[in-house]
Amino acid sequence: MNISPSQLDAERGAFSGFEACRNTQKGPVVILASGASAKQFPLLEFSHLPVIAMNGSVSLTAACAVKPFFYICTDKSFRTQQPELFALALRDSRRLALWPEQFVGADIPPDTECYPLHKADNPGMLDGLRGHGATHVCSRALWSKRARSIAFSKDLSSGYFDARTVVYVALQLAYHLGFEQVLLVGVDLDQSLGRFYENGEGQHSPCGLDQHWESRILPSLTLMAEQVVSERFRVYNLSEVSRIPAALIPKIDLAQARRIAS
């Protein structure tokens, strides 16, 4: 479904380009995912920090009366699979990063900042040779287009790179915004553990974590850990049961998180 800028303007009013928010933030941020471990995180205690929520994790922000600093959703079917949670996200979030067609006909407060998402172009052979482009880093792969597509965008004005998990898009967003320490909450990435907001009776959204773990998710996180994480951008994982190796993203406890957040 192709949505023109004029259609977007007619539906929702003014939209923002990602260049408007680049490097506007600093300090720590919480990325709140939907893994089962998120239930153990005392979000209210960390409510002074900006929160990037995604998909159904807004059920936790709503329960704690926390307004997401940003809400991001790359699953175009989430709106129909979880309509109540999607409506909650649109109502409560200060900023929205969605596909253009997700904005059409949506009930969004007039003061919400809206950022249409788009994917970045796959890096070319020269980028693969160098391992980076002007606005991204990528795998060093001269001849393999698929391998070069493992990349990390440092500027969402040029689009984001897909690792088949919205958490990876949120990490690119956190970098783009200028945050320096990222606290990952509920990033279990373990399909067997399920989502904290789903139970046996309600609607369940499809999950492809197992399918894409080896081919997309782990290689993308490895690239980020090796080529993006630095003194300027630190990432910490608060999920004890996370599938992400601690050698890539260090696991910390609440005491350490409190020190980072203070």
* CA–CA gap between residue 205 and residue 208 (Å, rounded): 10
| Band of residue 211 on the pLDDT scale cut at 50, 70, 90 | confident
% of the chain exceeding 70 in pLDDT: 83
Encode 231-242 in three state secondary structure: CCEEEEECCCCC
Read off the pLDDT of residues 74-120 as tens digits, 9 standing for 90 and up. Answer: 999 999 989 999 999 999 999 999 999 999 999 999 999 999 999 99
Helix %, strand %, coil % for the chain, to 5? 40, 15, 45
Read off the pLDDT of residues 216-262 as tens digits, 9 standing for 90 and up. Answer: 999 999 999 999 999 999 999 999 999 999 999 999 999 999 999 99
**Nearest Cα residue to 179 out of 68, 51, 67, 29:** 29
- pTM for this one? 0.90
Read off the pLDDT of residues 22-65 as tens digits, 9 standing for 90 and up. Answer: 999 999 999 999 999 999 999 999 999 999 999 999 999 999 99
List the domains of the chain with CATH numbers: 5-118+162-261 (3.40.50), 120-156 (no CATH)
